[in-house]
Structure 1
Amino acid sequence: MYWHWSSSISINRQSNWTLKIVVRARKLRIDVPLIDKIIGLLCWVTSETGIQGTLRETYEDFIVEEILPNGKPLDINAPVLEPSGYEGLFTHFILIKKGIGNFEAFWILSKKLGVPISFFFYSGNKDKDALTIQRAAVWGVPPEKLQSIELPNELRILSPIRELRRIHIGDHKGNRFTITIRRIPNEDASKLDKILYEIERLPIPNFFGYQRFGLVRPITHIVGKLLLLRRYDEALTVYLTAPSLTDSEDLLLVKELIREKNYSEALKSMPQKGLLFEKVILRNLIRYGTDYHRILKRLPPFLLRMLIEAYQGYIFNKMLSRLLIENPSIIDRYEKTLLPLVGYKLKIPNDEVGRILKEILDDENIKLNLFKNRHIPSLSSKGSLRPAFLHITFEEKSLEKTRNNTFNLRLRFSLGKGQYATVVLREILKENFLAAHFGDRFEKKKDQILANMKKLTNLISEMNLLS
């Protein structure tokens, strides 16, 4: 059976104003786990302790539906693309993927169609460990050819139509998420009304979520910083060899071969599936040796941008965390404010935001002019602005009691582009997020996960990479 929240559930409800006063009057919780500290997430704003549970037991437990420019979500059950009426050489289509990332999906399509991956266009990255639906486009491939190719079960193409214009990054309004957290103990289910009430009433910090950095291997921002510092050799080495929380023995041996610069043997020993970028880098290292400029220029530009943006996200997370910790009342003053994302054109403001940002950049030993790279333009970023907070309205929140006396929580909510559902889930799960992500595997691999986390923090410390 499903229990739907209603006003009949007993809770000491407060007005938005009263709730903000409570936040201002108390210190925020800063006892965050190590994984959060590594990516700059230093506090939570909701007051209740986190619940236990599991995330993504199936891909259908994490559904992401892209919201089109007209404000309509692509319904996973009945997706429709409406033609613009202007036909050209681009074919727009609906892409449904399950348990596969954007790059891997378009890599498969490019091989099947015999066209470069650069011929594909989409509006935004979608989660890998999820069931996702989005609009995409390809140049020079007619709809009938797109429909004729045989695809793996993880991919589906629907509704291909000819269009005059391509799709650009950011050509969508946001995403609608439908998420199920399973196996919530009875004692934690009683906390949910208060947690969800606070999430809907409080502005939630618009942090960059775990997937921006890599949850099982949070290193993209570290590699991004090394690229900014022009330490290209170290950047590639960290990208290829930094420990994942769940590395197998075989993969650890591959990483040891890479550290020994035995790239040919490492490439032969790579698992057949996945690790596409790593394989591309290894092939280029074999071919070009220490010509790192050439190697980096042969990587997809969006990968290089993603690494720089990850470091920008880390700086943003630290800045917003420190603002909140030092003065929780900023929720009142910055609720609808844009905060800076660092870049070479950024003018640092002369206020408390600017003071904290300068301190972080000094601690990181980063100058803004490092974000301008004339030799490899994909490593450049002008900087921009980002909303400081999210405002959440749950379109659905339901609780199902299971046969084994635990509960499943189903939530549906929408976010703007570039905003992360895991930031919302983090306020619900708090210190239990990592365990929820791994589910049953966490207890079985807990020692390995914690040992590899220690290796990663040692690497960061030894290379003096993060402040």
Structure 2
Amino acid sequence: MVIKMDYPYLTSDIPGIGGVIKTEPEDFIVEEIPLYQPSGAGEHIYAFIEKRNLNTQEMITRLSQHLGIKARDIGVAGNKDRRGITRQMVSLWRADPARVENLNVPQLRVLWVKRHKNKLHRGHLAGNRFEIRIRQINPDAAKIVPQVLEKLNKIGVPNYFGIQRFGIHNDNAAAGKALLLQQWEDFFHIVLGNPGSSQIQSGQTGEQRAGDNHAAILRARQLFEEGKLAEAVELWPPDYSFPKSLLRRLIEFKGGYHNTIATMPAAMKNFYLNAYQSHLFNETLRLRMPAINEVWVGDLAYLHRNGAVFKVEQAETEQTRVDSSEISPSGPIWGSTMITPEGKEWELEEKVVSEEGFTVEELRARFKTAGLKGERRPFRIFLTDVDYEFVEDSLLLRFTLPRGVYATIVLRELMKTDNL
């Protein structure tokens, strides 16, 4: 299963502006909007950190190494992509505040430090503020951009999970499905081997998209397939801590897949299982796209102000709330206790599950074994604080999104490309 973002555009009737992103780190800037501010007292050090061309896991690895604390004692509110500049909150349990303030680590800069009583957990953020430059845009972009933004403002942005959710090799969802099915050997070959099999629409392999590390990663995957695990460990770059850790565990258990899986931290397993949940949601949204701004009888409507969900009994009555952007229809983040809709929406969700080779009962049972309860996710979201300007042949775009929403989904509507 290789994920391709070939989902329908909401603005398919409007041409794209083309262009490229992330030519320079400064072309893609993300700043977290904290859910709360640290109190100033407690044993957790909260640091607002700027990172350049590092993903969140790579940042955690470097902080752990340089501050002498365990990775599990480092908390973050959300995962951020490698390419670009990100400013995000990090909590560090019992770290030396002076060492944190004076941290001298390549690609990291501490902006401020303050104490708090609790660890920072995933989801503890209000949203993200983006500043993105799209270079080499089409000459008629000045006419296109306002049309696209107007339609997104009126109908909403399709709330797809972005391609980065599925990994640079585009197969995180396949790995998650293998875990769910307890197909241990398949899981290891997907994550550590299978060199060059994943292609995105641009024709690039995942390793090519990994930048300067692609040759080493490709060779490491080849060595795994040849059974040369010790050599493969050495070739994975230092910042790729998960595959290195997984390989070391596999060597320790003498190639025993089941025993290696049993010792994996829950967060590692959930990383892949969540990618498969995201795939199921995206496939459902693909089917619902013509009606993301409509509610049907039996829908589970999502209340944007607080995340509450309720079943729609009278579609005509609730449609006025949809039109005012107060509520939206929701789709499945599958799990053992996720509430389900009725009517036409339920038919769509059952169709996706069936096409994946499951019954609803089996899927619930497998997610129960995996310990994931599930939830509902709105099919659309809304941009706020939108601002843009044209500078020579580029568009400088600023906007705010709720947590868990991917800026690349906005960009694909503007650019009409999936190579993001």
Which interval holds the TM-score relative to the shorter structure?
0.7 to 0.9
Is the contact between residue 207 and residue 215 of structure 2 (CA under 8 Å) also seen in structure 1?
A: no
> Quick one: which amino acid aligns to residue 302 of structure 1?
A
Residue number in structure 2 paired with 1:357: 349
Separation in 1 of the partners of 2:87 and 2:164? 18
Shift of 1:181: 0.2
How far does residue 276 in structure 1 lie from its aligned partner after superposition?
A: 2.1
Alignment-derived partner of residue 249 in structure 2: 284
Q: Given that residues 212 and 310 in structure 1 are in contact (C-alpha distance below 8 angstroms), is that contact kept between their aligned partners in structure 2?
A: yes
Corresponding residue number in structure 2 for 1:274: 239
Q: What residue is the counterpart of 1:409 in the other structure?
A: 395
Residue identity matched to 1:332: E
**Residue in 2 that maps onto 1:340:** 332
8 Å CA contact 2:61–2:239 kept in 1: the answer is no
The reply on whether 1:320 has 2:285 as its aligned counterpart is yes
What is the 5 A alignment of 1:29-68?
38-39=3-4, 41-46=6-11, 47-68=13-34
- Indicate whether 1:206 and 2:159 are aligned: yes
CA root-mean-square deviation = 2.2
Counterparts of 2:272 and 2:124, CA distance in 1: 21
TM-score, normalised with respect to structure 2:
0.83
Kindly tell me: are residues 91 and 133 of structure 1, through their superposed partners in 2, closer, same or farther at Cα, counting changes over 3 Å?
Answer: same
Identity %: 29
Match of 1:252 in 2: 218
Contact 1:280/1:299 (8 A) holds in 2: no
Deviations 1:267-316 (A, max 9, x none): 23x15443321111111111112433432344443232121111111110
Alignment TM-score, normalising by the size of structure 1? 0.75
Unaligned runs of 5+ in 2: 197-204, 209-213, 296-300, 302-321, 323-327
Instruction: Give the corresponding residue for 1:11.
Output: none
Equivalent position of 2:377 in the other structure? 386
Structure 2 partner of 1:399: 390
What one-letter code is carried by the residue in structure 2 that aligns with 1:426?
R
Structure 2 counterpart of 1:123: 77
Residue 48 of structure 1, CA deviation = 1.2
2:170 aligned to which of 205, 218, 226: 218
Give the direction of change, closer, same or farther, for the CA distance of 1:106–1:131 in structure 2 (3 Å limit).
same
Task: Give the secondary structure class of the aligned counterpart of 2:293.
Answer: helix
Separation in 2, partners of 1:39, 1:312: 15
Cα distance change on mapping 1:329 and 1:347 into 2, 3 Å: closer
- Contact residue 30 and residue 131 of structure 2 kept, 8 A: yes
Cα shift readout 1:97-140 (whole Å, capped 9, x = no counterpart):
11001111111111112211001111111222121111111111
The answer as to 2:273 corresponding to 1:302 is no
Deviation at 1:394, TM superposition (A): 4.8
Between the aligned partners of 1:60 and 1:341, the Cα distance in structure 2 is 33
Q: What letter is aligned with 1:284? A: R
1:21 counterpart residue number = none
How many residues end up aligned between the 2 structures? Answer: 371
1:176 partnered with 2:176: no
Correspondence for 1:88 among 42, 45, 57: 42
In the alignment, which residue of structure 2 is the partner of 1:108?
A: 62
- Which one-letter code corresponds to 1:69 in the other structure? L
Shift of 1:202: 2.1
The amino acid of 1:418's aligned partner reads G
Structure 1 residue ranges, 4+ long, deviating more than 3 angstroms after superposition: 187-190, 244-253, 271-274, 297-300
Range moving further from structure 2, 309-318 or 41-50:
41-50
Once residues 56 and 265 of structure 2 are traced to their aligned partners in structure 1, the CA distance between those partners, rounded to angstroms, is 13
